[in-house]
Amino acid sequence: MAEKSGDGRHPPILHGRYELGRMLGHGTFAKVYHARNLQTGKSVAMKVVGKEKVIKVGMMEQVKREISVMKMVEHPNIVELHEVMASKSKIYFAMELVRGGELFSKIAKGRLREDIARVYFQQLISAIDFCHSRGVYHRDLKPENLLLDEDGNLKVTDFGLSAFSEHLKQDGLLHTTCGTPAYVAPEVIGKKGYDGAKADLWSCGVILYVLLAGFLPFQDDNLLSMYRKIYRGDFKCPPFFSPEARSLITMLLDPNPSTRISIADIMDSSWFKKSVPKTVITKEDMEFDDFNEEEDRNGDKSKQPETLNAFHIISLSEGFDLSPLFEEKKKEEKEELRFATTTPASSVISILEEVAKAGRFSFKKSDNKVKLQGKASGRKGKLAIRAEIFAVASSFLVVVVKKDNGDILEYNQFCSKELRPALKDIVWTSPTGNSTVA
């Protein structure tokens, strides 16, 4: 709970961890305050939800869903949830403080230039693609739920109406009608079941139209008349839209979800790829460049792998891995893979180099360490993977492969589809016949 200091003049302290400041905004069920983490000094947005109000209208499941979703979707273009606390009467969300306001405020001043709208749309699609890869569908995308940070980067927020893939009915579709009327897809209105990903893309199409035009594609004072226009896909693009923008919006606002454009095709469209910001040296590129290749200038042999002592062996043992006690992760969402081998270190490195080349990765080695980095950016930047080789005995090695950067889902897909098949012939198998890959 929030406690005031004895003299009542100091800001209230929440759970001994956060100093609450001024109110930033409020809605029907929540108030948002500026707050400061007393330990780190970092500013956050503290969303305070009254339990009684939420329970009264039967929205507690919605609040729980929002918490679950926000823990799953950590992405540069999604507002980050730092932690959740609760008292007898309130739930507190400590969230990333986004200082630039709503994207809606920018549009309210008039339509945006096409190059500026494109940058926002690229960031929106990146965030939504990430959500969909996790089986999360937002279902209430609109400019009011898109915030801007102080650098002008877009941040998706308000996952209160979102759904998981677990919410799909036996027909593989969602059936709950929700969203904001002007941004909702025709199949959602139809109440016959809908694909959450396709419905989100329709909303993205409406948002893009609004960014470029400064007004909605489907407008009518009568709600039923507006729904009819949405259902028919009855809209017109202003003459100042470029041909590429007009084409993309038409494919996004296709009233038939089965023929509506996919995220992959959006990203491959000429309008989306046009005027992508100039390439700059990213943090991961700098780290990769600093990973110097071992040069054998004098014909010397490469250094031998570091020999593991008993403590190291125990710490590498999956049975002694304590991380699950501190972090909830699905079994398949591992950031590290370990295996034993009797193959020489040089052969292991050669196999990893072949995997890198086959999978469009850059490759560097240094002593008995290697690093692979994707040449193309993924959902969370370039996927970077580091492998380190240790000796248990002169002819028995342990190899540890870790994700250094990028999306954990892409890392796990790389391990299962590319790395494991390449390693299958060198992985040591115990006398009981069990593989050592962990």
Domains of the chain: 2-96 (3.30.200.20), 103-273 (1.10.510.10), 283-423 (3.30.310.80)
Of the residues 7, 115, 129, 140, only one is catalytic, namely 140
How far is residue 414's CA from residue 206's CA, in Å, rounded to a whole number? 35
Is 51 labelled as part of a ligand binding site?
A: yes
pLDDT of residue 9: 60
pLDDT digits (tens, 9 = 90+) for 240-249: 999 999 999 9
pLDDT higher than 50, residue 328: no
Whether residue 124 contacts residue 204, with contact meaning beta carbons closer than 8 Å, is answered with yes
Residue 270: C-alpha distances to residues 121, 242, 264, 265, 267 (Å): 14, 11, 12, 10, 8
pLDDT of residue 320: 43
How far is residue 139's CA from residue 204's CA, in Å, rounded to a whole number? 11
299, exposed or middle or buried, with CB in 10 Å at 0-12, 13-18, 19+? exposed
How far is residue 302's CA from residue 391's CA, in Å, rounded to a whole number? 14
Residue type, 23: M
Contacts of 36 (CB under 8 A, 6+ apart): 18, 19, 21, 42, 43, 44
Contacts of 169 (CB under 8 A, 6+ apart): 175, 193
pLDDT digits (tens, 9 = 90+) for 111-145: 999 999 999 999 999 999 999 988 888 888 999 89
pTM for the whole structure: 0.70
Q: Which stretches does DSSP call E strand in 51-185? A: 81-86, 90-96, 136-137, 146-148, 154-156, 163-164
pLDDT higher than 90, residue 183: yes
215-219, 311-315, 356-360, 410-414: the lowest-pLDDT one: 311-315
Q: If you search the block for the tokens 């790395």, which residue do you land on?
A: 419
Annotated active-site residue 140? The verdict is yes
How far is residue 374's CA from residue 377's CA, in Å, rounded to a whole number? 7
Contacts made by residues 295-303, CB under 8 angstroms, sequence distance 24+: 302/345, 302/346, 302/367, 302/368, 303/367, 303/368
pLDDT digits (tens, 9 = 90+) for 143-155: 989 999 988 999 9
